[in-house]
Amino acid sequence: MKRIFLIFSLSLLAACSFAPLSIPVADFFIASGSSASMICYSKVAKPITVQFASVVYEGDALYQPGPGIGDNSTVEMQLYGRATDPDPGSSSKVKCVSESAEDILLSTTPITLKAKVSERVSAGGKELASLVTQSEYYLGGSLKDGTIFSFPGTIDFSKGVVKANF
């Protein structure tokens, strides 16, 4: 009986030790058709107080194209992180700015999204691990679409979390 209790206790401890720490990220969007050189950011104000070697952002991405001329059935995007407020003078929930030296590329390869199909995307690594220990940081994205001219559409990010494994 003691042996069964000991095995059960150790199994429970091991299972809890490897469970990822997850912190929710507010929904945000990227305007398509007009943001090819812009990165749109959303603030995350829930720091992780433990140092991790690697941290990953995961979220659902839904590309909703605006009407346009050219192929708008897919877009390529990159995910970014940033330590400082990209536009301190703005009170907007989503802040879109031109790329600068402060932007940290989190996705190693471009992410391709299909129109009107929600897909789970993820990106991160040691760069994101250094950001999440701050009292606030920013997550965002930039895209390249295939239209010659289009009215703005969006890529909506929802159900986002930052995950860190022990």
Q: Is the dihedral of CA 26, 144, 119, 110 positive or negative?
A: negative
Q: Is the dihedral of CA 111, 102, 98, 57 positive or negative?
A: positive
pLDDT digits (tens, 9 = 90+) for 53-106: 889 999 999 998 877 776 678 888 899 999 999 999 999 888 889 989 999 999
CA-derived radius of gyration, the chain: 19
For the 20-164 domain, the top CATH level (class) is: mainly beta
Nearest to 79 by CA among 160, 164, 146: 160
pLDDT class of 146 with cuts at 50, 70, 90:
low
Residue type, 90: S
Q: Is the dihedral of CA 101, 33, 64, 69 positive or negative?
A: negative
Contact, 160 vs 25, CB < 8 A? yes
pLDDT class of 18 with cuts at 50, 70, 90:
low
147 pLDDT more than 70: no
160 pLDDT more than 70: yes
Query: How many Å apart are CA 39 and CA 122, to the nearest integer?
Result: 17
- pTM value? 0.77
pLDDT for res 14: 41
